Chains A and B, each alone.
Chain A
Amino acid sequence: MKRQIPMLILSAVGTLLVVSVFIPSARHWQEDASLYFDIIAVFAFFLGGGNLIRVHTEKVNRKSTGWIYSVVTLLGFGIMLVTGLFKIGNPNGIAGDLSQTGSYFQLLFQYVMSPLNSTMYALLAFYVASASYRAFRAKNTEATILLVAAFVILLGRTALGVLLTNWIPAQLSVLQIPNLAIWIMNAPNLAGQRAIMIGISLGVISMSLRLLLGIERSYLGGDN
């Protein structure tokens, strides 16, 4: 029973939304489902946020390893909650826009969140370099093909790529690195992308049908 009703809900909702794609007057169901999801996600956040507070509070209480960082996390969470809920420092008070210029919420976003985000993103430069270094040690045909394609595309977007092959005559201009890069993007790369995307769509259909038919149900738990 504890599983049957959720299964019925899942199948009914899924089927209705599939059908709504074909019926013009039912298309708004998709938007309603999306709004329902947004609302449910907010309520679920109380569970997630509550879990965050509980886990870190327990760490502090037990003085587990790294409890000091949990204090920092809880402080950060609390400060953001207070400044955002009561819109502290907001020129128009609580009725104003949340991220109005000058509000503490906006300042925290601009000088704390944004630089942290940008820096984590910037770390990718180092990681892509280390991944490239590992890829250079191509040990088989497939890795070599990946490496060569990456190299051509990379060089094709630089002045060095132009310099390396501008001696190639016009009749064989497709072998010049920039042109070769364009051809690789337009032909074999496009072909591979298409094969991946067609495969993905069929995989999604297959998995969605398993879900709608109730064959796949591990995420709903058991009868406990």
Chain B
Amino acid sequence: MDSAIIGTWLAALLTLGIMSFLYKDNLYYKICEAIFIGISAGLWFITYFWDSLYRIAWIGVVHEGRYVLLGGVVLGVMMLMRLFGKIGWIARWPLAFIVGATAGLKMMVYFTTNAMAQIHGTVNDTMAAFGGSGLYDVVGRIVILIGTVTGLVYFYFSKEHKGLFGGVAKVGTWFLMITFGASFGYTVMSRMSLLLGRIDFLLTDWLKLVK
């Protein structure tokens, strides 16, 4: 039999198996889940093996002479010491390296892209979005200003949300709710289209009911 036909039937059965979870947990779903975990874990191991271990470590060090990568290999081997109880504490060293690197790098990335760029945007893009002097533009700019500042007040930790400060924080909460509602409404349609995609596969590719 053609591998495409077998593959399509397999894909369809797996699709229905996962969808059966919506009814309740059952044998069919459990088998599909087990297949998913096993196949996906294997796939990722193979990807790591060829892409990271072979291409970066082996090719990089042995063939391209990038000996600096040996440091990564040494740290990686230290990681494996976790398997040996008495010297397992050595695995903390590569962990410390990763946490330190993450903390250092992300601190700057978040500062420049989240803090500075957003402040720059609030001052700058306010004019781009509402650059005119009509009522619509002025109101828009005022809303952005109020929303950003009151939202920041909501996140203030070292002052009790009471009195005037509490009132401002409350307004901030409302702006955050609008943000969440907007995100929610924005993604509903895209989620529906994912389901339509699977139904289309079942009806068109598998059962061939729709041409």
- Where the two chains meet, the residues of A that have a C-beta atom closer than 8 Å to any C-beta of B are 2-3, 5-7, 9-18, 21, 30, 32-33, 35-47, 49-50, 52, 66, 69-70, 72-81, 84-85, 98, 105, 107-116, 118-126, 128, 132, 135, 141-143, 145-154, 156-158, 174, 183-202, 204-205, 207-209, 211-212, 219-221, 224
Contact A38 B115 (CB under 8 A): no
* A79: chain B residues within 8 A (beta carbon): 38-39, 42
The answer to the question of B133 belonging to the interface, with a C-beta cut-off of 8 Å to chain A, is no
* B48: chain A residues within 8 A (beta carbon): 41-42, 45
Q: Give 5 A-B pairs besides A186-B140, A194-B121 with Cβ atoms closer than 8 angstroms.
A: A50-B83, A141-B174, A142-B177, A183-B140, A189-B178
Of B19, B30, B33, B104, which one neighbours A17 at CB under 8 angstroms?
A: B104
Known A108-B39, A142-B173, A212-B103; judge A44-B79 contact (CB<8 A): yes
* A204: chain B residues within 8 A (beta carbon): 106-107, 110-111, 114
Report how far A124 CA is from B99 CA in the complex, Å: 33
The answer to the question of B53 belonging to the interface, with a C-beta cut-off of 8 Å to chain A, is yes
* A69: chain B residues within 8 A (beta carbon): 30-31, 33-34
Known A38-B56, A151-B185; judge A113-B97 contact (CB<8 A): no
* B150: chain A residues within 8 A (beta carbon): 195
Query: Could you give 28 example pairs across A and B, Cβ below 8 Å?
Result: A10-B97, A14-B107, A36-B72, A40-B97, A42-B48, A42-B52, A42-B53, A47-B82, A69-B34, A73-B35, A80-B43, A111-B7, A115-B10, A115-B14, A119-B19, A142-B174, A149-B179, A150-B181, A153-B186, A188-B144, A192-B180, A195-B150, A195-B176, A200-B114, A204-B106, A205-B115, A208-B107, A211-B100
Contact A149 B182 (CB under 8 A): yes
Smallest CB–CB gap between B99 and chain A, Å?
Answer: 6
Smallest CB–CB gap between A210 and chain B, Å?
Answer: 9
Chain A minimum-CB-distance residue to B35: A76
- Where the two chains meet, the residues of B that have a C-beta atom closer than 8 Å to any C-beta of A are 3, 6-8, 10-12, 14-15, 18-19, 21-22, 30-50, 52-53, 56-57, 60, 68-69, 71-73, 75-77, 79-80, 82-83, 89, 92-101, 103-108, 110-111, 113-115, 118-119, 121-122, 129-130, 136, 140, 143-152, 154-155, 172-189, 191-192, 194-195, 197-198, 201
Contact A39 B57 (CB under 8 A): yes
Contacts between the two chains (Cβ within 8 Å), count: 402
Report how far A66 CA is from B72 CA in the complex, Å: 39
Report how far A21 CA is from B48 CA in the complex, Å: 28
* B77: chain A residues within 8 A (beta carbon): 43
Identify whether the interface residues of B are mostly helix, strand, loop, or mixed. Answer: helix
Contact B140 A192 (CB under 8 A): no
Contact B104 A149 (CB under 8 A): no
Report how far A121 CA is from B15 CA in the complex, Å: 11
* A80: chain B residues within 8 A (beta carbon): 38-39, 41-43, 45-46
* B155: chain A residues within 8 A (beta carbon): 195, 199
6 interchain residue pairs of minimum CB distance: A191-B147, A76-B38, A195-B151, A80-B42, A149-B181, A192-B179
Contact A220 B33 (CB under 8 A): no
Report how far A40 CA is from B70 CA in the complex, Å: 11
Contact B43 A123 (CB under 8 A): no
Contact B11 A9 (CB under 8 A): no
Contact B42 A78 (CB under 8 A): yes
Smallest CB–CB gap between B50 and chain A, Å?
Answer: 5
* B172: chain A residues within 8 A (beta carbon): 195
Contact A40 B42 (CB under 8 A): no
Report how far A115 CA is from B8 CA in the complex, Å: 9
